[in-house]
Amino acid sequence: MQSGLTLEIDLDKIRANSARVATKCRAKGIAVIGVTKGFSAMYQIVRAMVAGGIDGLADARMENIVQLRKRDFKNPITLLRIPRLSDIAYVVKYADTSINSEVTVIKALAEAASKMGKVHQIVLMVDLGDLREGVMQENVLSTVRQISRFSGVSLVGLGTNMGCFGGVLPSIDNLGLLVQLGQAVERQSGQPLAILSGGGTSSLLLVENNTMPAGINQLRVGEGILLGTDTTHNRVIPWLYQDAFLLRAEVIEVKDKPSVPVGEIGQDAFGNIPEFEDTGIRKRAILALGRQDVYIEGIFPLDKTLNIMGASSDHTIVDITDSSRSIKVGDQIAFGLSYSGLLSASDSRYIKKVFTGRDSNEN
């Protein structure tokens, strides 16, 4: 069956973005870990990131990490979500490093690694204000002392998360505090830390502005490489491509209809009460694309004269009145994606993935 709903992926642009991010960060002594969760770790895209020169891979899903190993990716891989106790054996077997904040979990990792004759690397996450994962600053040294009692794990660094929950922006002050905490850990343990991981795409602005605190030597970058955007700062990154991903959906109806529904209005299929502005009769296209396929709020028409009016589980309605081209049934409308849109589109089994670029035909 041919798919009228496709996600086009330009591997050359992903490779180029990877190379640009890696080069700019490497000039500041910062390693780049390519985050693969945003596209469900599709191996073609991972291969393009690796070809671009990133220093390692990271994902929040063990399922993705296992598949990458089965695809024979030998790159260092970090598990980006605190390990589930039920996954401990898999974490030790397939991931080189994991981020952690719970001593109970770290102890379980140590026991599993010892049984396997391995040493699993730990990055201890520190909460610097975003209030997602991480130990509080005042508990860092005591937590490190507890970790030092476990054989089977090695504390290789400290890390922090910015912007993902509380929207807190990385800064000279909060990342400078991570550096200070790293120095305190080194004094206490008498051992150097290999990693001070200062966040992700949102921290690239500090690299660009030459304001990254000395000592931060790793960033975990996904959105910047994939989309060339930085959602936390609400900006386009001007030295990266923004169009490596393109969603195309087929038009299945074109009709002139009123802009306001006729009749008493109740809740829509998702429990919301829709509101409408009366702008008269409008030409509308219905697409074979719905909320079951993609997060609608995470896509936007490339043609700025088009406007998404709304969507149900199976259909998206687009106002095409002001379009400069004549849109008819069977045509396709192209959309760009935000990070949230890419997350859902990549994981949707209803959207066909089409790869372009010089490596697109390799298995």
Which are the catalytic amino acids?
37
Q: Exposed, middle or buried by CB within 10 Å (0-12, 13-18, 19+), for 327? A: middle
Q: Looking at the DSSP assignment, which residues form a beta bridge with residue 125? A: 159
